[in-house]
Chain A
Amino acid sequence: MKSFSLLSRGTGVAFLTPAGLLIGAFVIAPFFWVIYVSFTNRSLLGRTALNPDFVGLANYFSLFDAATFLTRGEFGSSLILTIQFVLLSAVVGQAALGMVLAWMLQSVPRSLKHVTEAVAIGAWILPEVVIAFAWFAFLDYENGTLNMIMEALGFPPGDWLLSFPFWAVVVFNTWRGTAFSMMLFNSAFSSIPPSYFQAADVAGASSWQKFRDIGLPLIRGHVVTDLILITMWSFNVFTPFLLTSGGPSYRTEILPIYTYRIAFRDFDFGKGAAVGVVVMLINLVFALFYLWVMRRRAKGVAA
């Protein structure tokens, strides 16, 4: 069978070469470089900067050293913190809250819907630095807006970023990302033919029954997509650094911040690269799962 093509094979290759070279130089080469560095004790300062030794799996062993694994400020503790962060801020926070908002938006006047969407998107498109600064000002102990409100209502002020740093970044990430889930679910719900809900209304179904039996089953695919995407994003998000710098005492040091500290504050490139490789593998699992789900969905649609 002769395949149809717009360009001759040679032209196609010629067009692709520059992009291929760039990807090779900036994606593939660093990828293997990081793996290589993770087997050395290369650093930026000190003797091992110029003459790094090959240390085999020592960096990986130090990450998974049972004696220190769960100590705060070590890899294991950071990994567990990250999982908690993802579950609370992405799955419960962004996805569940986004779902509730999207469902509620189905039954409000069109104008209110537009306003809500605009506000939610505003939260999503603002630059990270601006948002982090705004939250910093909001949560500040001495002059923060939140404490002004608390005091006006007669409650004692809270030292949010020091006493509840983890919850501060969870709420922050929820606030930051809910808009995406909401928009996605909103458009998914909109794609369901209104007649389904009208029929349910005639049968006297409650909102919860409509959601459980019509809405949710029909947008299941979108839910999976959303969960995988926001999980990956939250797993790799660095922005909480702007709020707490990973502190106090590593209480908000999720993996991206941990990696940054090891590589660019301690200048321990070898160990930092090892963390990078482990994070890369975890992301690979997410990505493969995502691709697998997408293929299944594509097949399901075709069939």
Chain B
Amino acid sequence: MRIHLHALWLSLAAATTFASPAISADLSITCRCVEGGVNSELAAWVKKSVIPGFTKMKGDAVKVTLTEFAGSDEQLTQQLALDFSTGAGPDVAGFDGFLIPSFVEGGLLKPLDELAGDAVAKWDGWSHITEGAKALMSYQGKPYGLSLGTDVRVIFVRADLLKEAGIDPATWQPTSWNELLDTARALKAKKPDSFPLQINAGVPMGEATTMQGYWMALLGTGEQVTDDKGRYIVSSQGILDTLNLYKTIYVDEKLGDQRAQLLGDGRNRTFANFRDGKTAMLLESDWFYRSVTAPGSEFAVEDRDQVVTWAKMPAKEPGKGIRGQDFVTISGGTGFVLNPSTDEKELAWELLAFMNSKEQLAEFQKYEPRIRIRDDVEIADAPFLAETSQALMPLTTARPNDAKYNAVSAEIQRMTEAVVSGELSPEDAMSRYRDAVTRIVGEENTVSLL
């Protein structure tokens, strides 16, 4: 018996010792990216450019692997939150900037310089990144990661469907919600089984509901989620107007696909609706153009550059938008952060810096043209990106840089779902929202504008 036990311990010890070659260091990257699936270009870039390049630079002693995460953004957030809290997880992780405050306050992220020391301050890349771009992945002045770029939100339009309804897509630019709704009504009258307008709502779509849907409407009423002093607005005419817009679209007139808001894979359904010509107007980030409808991906639109055009999201009425604007949009930034409990702190930073080197970002442009955060990376020759950013960057807004925002955003998703499912009236949904947000941030951090 004793001899058997000894043998067992010895073999276990041997197995753990020899399993990892002594010389090498392993690094892992995780992002919501799958070759041939979601964010396919990102996965391809990491696998075909970043990893070979980094391995070449460091020699064979370093082994980098990419874990392609196929779930939703919310599932990845959940995974990373639980991983980081137990000291597990990838060394470098794809991350949405708005989550940084709540992760930092929860002790789940560390500033880059605290992790990797002087090497961070000495990085030559910083001089090519503006303060604004740096802020996308920062909290209280400290960067926790590097953003791949920023984005803007627009109404994506199927020119072919507009033409069929007798509207000239070249000049179509609604200047109020009513004009937007009238176009949707005209298209619906033409094709009763189509869902001409898509403004995201509901819980399953997660932050996509808050960002591409709710914010885009709310900004058009002249309000934001918080007021100038950073207090959360819990009841206001703007919230009611926004919810009533949803009600008109999904409940009263069925101008949008109500099922898609309630089903688990709803967002993909909205993409499919657009691809299949069932939806003519879809509010999305320019990511939709860069990645979702890019040639070769699942929701690629045939003849994209002829068929797909875009328009700015109008305020409720001209001049009624945030800061008195006629048109509104909002920007965010996703990028990569370092796992605070990585075993290879310096090496992980080196990898992150390498990913954001001029050469690698220039290489990334070949996979997915985009406006990069580095000013020394040439802007790709994509008229769409040049036009949208020129038109919308001066109008844009950002989400509150606040640790509670994440939880409030989840309440926004619940509020919109209650309305589009026909469960609650806009008034009742807003009062539930008021109670929930007051619980989350405390009475003193809320304000009522009614």
Residues of A within 8 A of B (CB): 43-47, 49-50, 62, 67-68, 71-73, 141, 159, 161-162, 245, 247-249, 264-267
Contact = CB atoms under 8 A, between A and B. Distances in A.
Contacts, number: 69
25 contacts: A43-B106, A44-B81, A44-B85, A45-B106, A45-B406, A45-B407, A46-B106, A46-B403, A47-B403, A49-B85, A49-B106, A50-B105, A50-B106, A50-B107, A72-B423, A73-B414, A162-B259, A162-B262, A162-B263, A245-B264, A248-B421, A249-B262, A264-B78, A265-B74, A266-B410
Nearest to B259: A162
A249 B108 contact: no
B262 A248 contact: yes
B208 interface: no
Interface string B396-440: 000000011011001000100110010100000000100100010
Contact of A62 (B74, B263, B439): B439
Nearest to A141: B259
B105 A266 contact: no
Interface string B71-102: 00010001001100100000000000001001
Nearest to A47: B105
A45 to B, nearest CB: 4
A79 to B, nearest CB: 19
Contacts of A62: 439
B367 interface: no
A249 B421 contact: yes
Contacts of A72: 423
A97 to B, nearest CB: 29
Max count, chain A CB within 10 A of own CB: residue among B82, B264, B406, B432: B264
A49 B403 CA distance: 11
A249 B423 contact: yes
Given A45-B406, A264-B78, A247 B204 contact: yes
Contacts of A245: 204, 264
B287 interface: no
Contact of B404 (A46, A67, A249): A46
B29 interface: no
Contact of B264 (A45, A49, A247): A247
B177 interface: no
A98 to B, nearest CB: 31
A49 B105 contact: yes
Given A248-B263, A266-B407, 15 more contacts: A44-B81, A46-B106, A46-B404, A46-B407, A49-B85, A49-B106, A50-B106, A245-B204, A247-B204, A247-B262, A249-B417, A249-B423, A265-B410, A266-B410, A267-B81
Contact of B107 (A49, A67, A71, A159): A49
A266 B203 CA distance: 12
A63 B102 CA distance: 24
Interface of B: 74, 78, 81-82, 85, 99, 102-103, 105-108, 203-204, 259, 262-264, 403-404, 406-407, 410, 414, 417-418, 421, 423, 432, 435, 439
Contacts of B407: 45-46, 266
Given A45-B102, A162-B262, A162-B263, A247 B203 contact: yes
Contacts of B403: 45-47
Nearest to A271: B439
Nearest to B403: A46
A260 to B, nearest CB: 11
Contacts of A141: 259
Contacts of A248: 262-263, 417, 421
Contacts of B82: 44, 264
Nearest to A268: B407
B319 to A, nearest CB: 36
Cβ-closest 3 pairs across A and B: A49-B106, A248-B262, A45-B102
Nearest to A43: B106
A266 B439 CA distance: 13
A302 B102 CA distance: 62
Max count, chain B CB within 10 A of own CB: residue among A47, A161, A248, A264: A248
Nearest to A44: B81
Contacts of A68: 435
A266 B107 CA distance: 17
B108 A45 contact: yes
Nearest to A246: B203
Nearest to A50: B107
A159 B78 contact: no
A161 B259 CA distance: 10
A46 B259 contact: no
Contacts of B103: 45
A75 B82 CA distance: 24
B106 A159 contact: no
Given A249-B423, A265-B78, A49 B410 contact: no
Contacts of B414: 73
A49 B108 contact: yes
A249 to B, nearest CB: 5
Contacts of A71: 432
Nearest to A248: B262
A88 B393 CA distance: 56
A43 B99 CA distance: 15
Contacts of A43: 106
Contacts of B81: 44-45, 267
Contacts of A49: 85, 105-108
A294 B421 CA distance: 47
Contacts of A162: 259, 262-263
A159 B81 CA distance: 35
A184 to B, nearest CB: 35
